[in-house]
Amino acid sequence: MHVAIIGNGIAGVTAARWLRKLSDTVRITMISAESDFFFSRTALMYVYMGHQRWEDLMPYEPFFWKKNRIDLLRQYVERVDTGGKVLHCGDGSTLQYDKLILATGSSWNKFGWPGQDLRRVGGMVSAQDLNLLEEITPEVRSAVIVGGGLIGVELAEMLHSRHIHVTLLVRDRSYWSGTLPPEESEMVSRHILSQGIDLRHDTELGEIVDDGAGAAGAVITKSGERIECQYVGLTAGVHPNIDFLSNADGLETKKGILIDNYLETSVPDVYAIGDCAQVREPRPGRTPIEAVWYTGRIMGETVAYNILGRPVAYDPGIWFNSAKFIDIEYQVYGEVPADGRKGMSTIYWEHPGGEKSVRINYDGASGRVLGFNLMGIRYRHEVCEKWIADGTHVEEVLQKMGMANFDPEFYKQYEAEVVARYNRQTGSNLQLRQQRSLSAALRFLGFKSRTPRTTSPQDAQ
């Protein structure tokens, strides 16, 4: 059986790895026009900032692919013939497949702005985006970035590191307010401004102005303000990269490629995973398209089982995400809606310095913990996930919070302050019982310590 995979991001690569783990005989071909090898997309910014080299972004050495008999094809697929099971590539070549995995990822959004196709206008989701930015940087003295998400703040940090003046346009009253609760959103806005980035709230792009030579020379906001610049970064979200599939017979799409709970599309033997996939019936509280690293990884593993005739339904698990807003690390586990919801209670503690916070959401009736939102403080993913999965009472969580703390040994802990905040809020008298402890966390997660075995002379031989 020949499995072709279009796309070499985390979803496609995980699918290839698990196909090989589960079968020694399946033929695997990965196709991508973007790069020769899989790379860490979230680390693109660090190449531009000089923290890493391009080769440092490759999680696997070049020999990995040959060793695991995964063929790599540097091509652009222009058309998929689903009836004949043939891929038509940009150079006129074709490739026959038995089963096909579509893992084509995302592209950055354009919303019909005048001037959006000018030179020196780009996003930051691909290797080509990075190459373009590197190429034009000598021409850029000031930049405007449009959009208030994770990619927007990363691109702002990148340009700021090259001493380029950055204006960041956000249509909301504070940064990423559609995702972050108000306090955390305002914290991020304050931090961005403190770094010398010109963050403009309640501001939308109207048009991008041609400099007279076919490149971006300024933007005009919807309020009529003109901002001079030599680069415009469009980071107002992403969309599934599926335009080339418009003529694929029988393939049903909406925003993304529609898939069932086993990741199969409307066409037999064709599957879709990662950012391009849209789940027909998502789990309660989850969205049909989740363009995050870990869901792509889970989908990649799941699709391998299904293709090899070992049915496994896709289970995204408990929601989590992590990122960095310049110097503030961010982690979210479980249910943390921006505006809360009926029946949900929350504890929110913020450090007086304004760049660290802990939020714990719980069910107001049962006390069952629902989610964690952390800014500038790191908690162990496995511990938080287990508390949520087990429906642990919030008061038990608070008493043992130190066990989740993942900050280095000599970092200050703030769990006692969080407990005190809960006591003031509810009139309780809880005490923190568990300080930061890796051994306690491991025991909680079910890992047993092992007594080292004495080596006998016979063993040594």
- Please, which pLDDT band fits residue 285 given cuts at 50, 70 and 90? confident
Give, as one character, the DSSP assignment of residue 393.
Answer: B
In percent, how much of the chain has pLDDT > 70? 97
Contact 273, 106 (CB under 8 A): no
Contact 397, 405 (CB under 8 A): no
Contact 401, 393 (CB under 8 A): no
Query: Half-sphere exposure (CA, 13 Å, Cβ side) for 322?
Result: 9
Q: What are the pLDDT digits (tens) for 168-186?
A: 999 999 999 999 999 999 9
Contact 50, 157 (CB under 8 A): no
Q: What are the pLDDT digits (tens) for 387-396?
A: 999 999 999 9
Number of other CB atoms surrounding residue 282 within 10 Å: 15
CA 383 to chain centre: 21
Q: Which of 47, 111, 101, 36 is nearest to 74 (CA)?
A: 36
> Does pTM surpass 0.75?
yes
CATH classification code of 320-444 = 3.30.390.30
Contact 128, 151 (CB under 8 A): no
Is the pLDDT confidence value at 209 over 70? yes
Contact 292, 321 (CB under 8 A): yes
CB burial string 179-215: b at 16+ within 10 A, e below: bbbebbbbbbbebbeeeebebbbebebbebbebeeeb
Q: Which helix (H) or strand (E) holds 331?
A: strand 328-334
Q: Give ranges for CATH 3.50.50.60 in the chain.
A: 2-107+239-307, 121-236
- pLDDT at position 441 is 79
Q: What are the pLDDT digits (tens) for 20-72?
A: 999 999 999 999 999 888 988 889 999 999 999 988 999 999 999 999 999 99
Q: What are the pLDDT digits (tens) for 394-405?
A: 999 999 999 999
- pLDDT at position 448 is 58
Q: What are the pLDDT digits (tens) for 323-360?
A: 999 999 999 999 999 999 999 999 999 999 999 999 99
Contact 6, 12 (CB under 8 A): yes
Q: What is the mean pLDDT of residues 198-216?
A: 98
Is the pLDDT confidence value at 155 over 90? yes
Look at residue 424 and give its three-state secondary structure.
Answer: helix
Contact 210, 115 (CB under 8 A): yes
Block residue for tokens 């040594």: 460
- Please, which pLDDT band fits residue 433 given cuts at 50, 70 and 90? confident
Look at residue 37 and give its three-state secondary structure.
Answer: coil
Is the pLDDT confidence value at 452 over 60? no
- Straight-line distance from the first to the last Cα atom of the chain, in angstroms, rounded to the nearest whole number: 46
Residue 295: partners with Cβ closer than 8 Å, 6 or more residues away: 274, 316
CA 444 to chain centre: 28
Please state, in angstroms and rounded to a whole number, the distance separating the CA atoms of residues 343 and 272: 36
Mean pLDDT of the chain: 94
- Please, which pLDDT band fits residue 457 given cuts at 50, 70 and 90? very low
Q: Give ranges for CATH 3.30.390.30 in the chain.
A: 320-444
Q: How far is CA 101 from CA 105, 252, 267, 270, 300, in A?
A: 12, 15, 11, 6, 9
Q: Which of 198, 212, 208, 204 is nearest to 236 (CA)?
A: 204
CATH classification code of 121-236 = 3.50.50.60
Number of other CB atoms surrounding residue 247 within 10 Å: 11
Q: Which of 172, 184, 176 is nearest to 354 (CA)?
A: 184
Superfamily the domain 2-107+239-307 falls into: FAD/NAD(P)-binding domain (3.50.50.60)
Number of other CB atoms surrounding residue 255 within 10 Å: 12
Query: Half-sphere exposure (CA, 13 Å, Cβ side) for 390?
Result: 13
Beta strand 94-96 with 86-89: parallel, antiparallel or unpaired? antiparallel
Burial class (CB in 10 A: 0-12, 13-18, 19+), 246: exposed
